[in-house]
Amino acid sequence: MAPIVRIENLTKSYATGFQALKGVSLDIEEGEILALLGPNGAGKTTMISIVCGIVTPTSGRVTVAGHDVIRDFRKTREIIGLVPQELTLEAFETVFNTVSFSRGLHGKRPDPALIEKILRDLSLWDKKDTMLRFLSGGMRRRVLIAKALSYEPKILFLDEPTAGVDVSLRKEMWQLVERLRATGVTVILTTHYIEEAEEIADRIGVIDKGEILLVEDKAALMRKLGRKRLTVELAEPVEAVPAALSHYNLSLGDDGHTLVYDYDTAGERTGITGLLAALAAAGLRMKDVATEQSSLEDIFVELVGGAK
């Protein structure tokens, strides 16, 4: 199937001469949840803004459902919902009217039942008659999402949807994204919360200094770059790693009470069985064994740190 969004060799130099994007190419598949991770200033908002037709690229091309985002601007804007970072809302308008108005702006017939459903899904229904200026920051952010959903986009861009949102609301938003995906909507979100990407994304893109460092299926990424650590707690401490175990590259921890073994999860053989047998053969008694898996955060820090 052709990708729903195709980004080809996109560059962007701002009037200041700053090059925010340096040749980005990316295909986004219909129905997926793609999380874009990257440090501040990486170029995430610039890229999203170009896809949404708000910023013009310096060179390169973007198509949405086969339509060029510059030439067929109207068509592509109909398909895309954008939830921006900034909270720009009409202070004196009510929640319900703002969201309904947004639907009308996109040329859709009024649909109060749909607006009600969206507001209920976002826990905003009890605020429907409240003026926007009386809402909290988290509620305003949800109004921005409701506005974008009001015209039933096929693709939804969320620029840091949960920044400054409390934990329970963040979880609610994740559930909402899941429900949207279940209805076939493609979701692209930028985030600083790696936990968020780990929780909800199908694929993860890492962007830094205007370049895509990688785009990969989340599970494959964890398998490929993930490392595991086995920590063996010894019944009696040792002063050094026994010579018979030297080829395992173990390190001694906790004043000789633990032996630590790092291994690659991508390898066919981890060597754990052999290691445990060798420990027993060397006369070391084990009190406990624990493993931990590197998180997406470790992987991200390694990638972006390594690119500096």
Catalog residues that contact ligand ATP under the rule CB under 6 A.
14, 16, 18, 20, 38, 40-46
233 bridge partner residues: 258, 288
Hunting for tokens 């809402």 — which residue is that? 135
Q: Which is nearer to ligand ATP, 16 or 88 (CB)?
A: 16
Q: Which is nearer to ligand ATP, 12 or 203 (CB)?
A: 12
Q: Which is nearer to ligand ATP, 154 or 209 (CB)?
A: 209
Among the listed residues 97, 70, 67, 96, the one whose alpha carbon sits nearest the alpha carbon of residue 79: 67
Q: Which is nearer to ligand ATP, 38 or 57 (CB)?
A: 38
In the complex, least distance from residue 145 CB atom to ligand ATP, rounded to whole angstroms: 18
CA-to-CA distance for 87 and 85, rounded, in angstroms?
Answer: 7
How is the beta sheet containing 258-264 ordered, strand by strand? Answer: 251-253, 258-264, 227-234, 286-293
How is the beta sheet containing 186-191 ordered, strand by strand? Answer: 80-83, 155-159, 186-191, 33-37, 203-208, 211-217
In the complex, least distance from residue 294 CB atom to ligand ATP, rounded to whole angstroms: 24
Q: Which is nearer to ligand ATP, 150 or 161 (CB)?
A: 161
Q: Which is nearer to ligand ATP, 198 or 208 (CB)?
A: 208
Q: Which is nearer to ligand ATP, 244 or 301 (CB)?
A: 301
CA-to-CA distance for 208 and 307, rounded, in angstroms?
Answer: 8
CA-to-CA distance for 77 and 159, rounded, in angstroms?
Answer: 16
In the complex, least distance from residue 211 CB atom to ligand ATP, rounded to whole angstroms: 12
CA-to-CA distance for 132 and 188, rounded, in angstroms?
Answer: 26
Token pair for residue 198? Answer: 């780990």
Under 8 Å between Cβ of 58 and 229: no
In the complex, least distance from residue 51 CB atom to ligand ATP, rounded to whole angstroms: 12
262 bridge partner residues: 229
Which DSSP helix (H) or strand (E) runs through 83?
A: strand 80-83
In the complex, least distance from residue 72 CB atom to ligand ATP, rounded to whole angstroms: 24
In the complex, least distance from residue 37 CB atom to ligand ATP, rounded to whole angstroms: 10
Q: Which is nearer to ligand ATP, 16 or 273 (CB)?
A: 16
In the complex, least distance from residue 25 CB atom to ligand ATP, rounded to whole angstroms: 17
User: What type of residue is 94?
Assistant: T
In the complex, least distance from residue 45 CB atom to ligand ATP, rounded to whole angstroms: 3
Among the listed residues 188, 200, 141, 175, the one whose alpha carbon sits nearest the alpha carbon of residue 34: 188
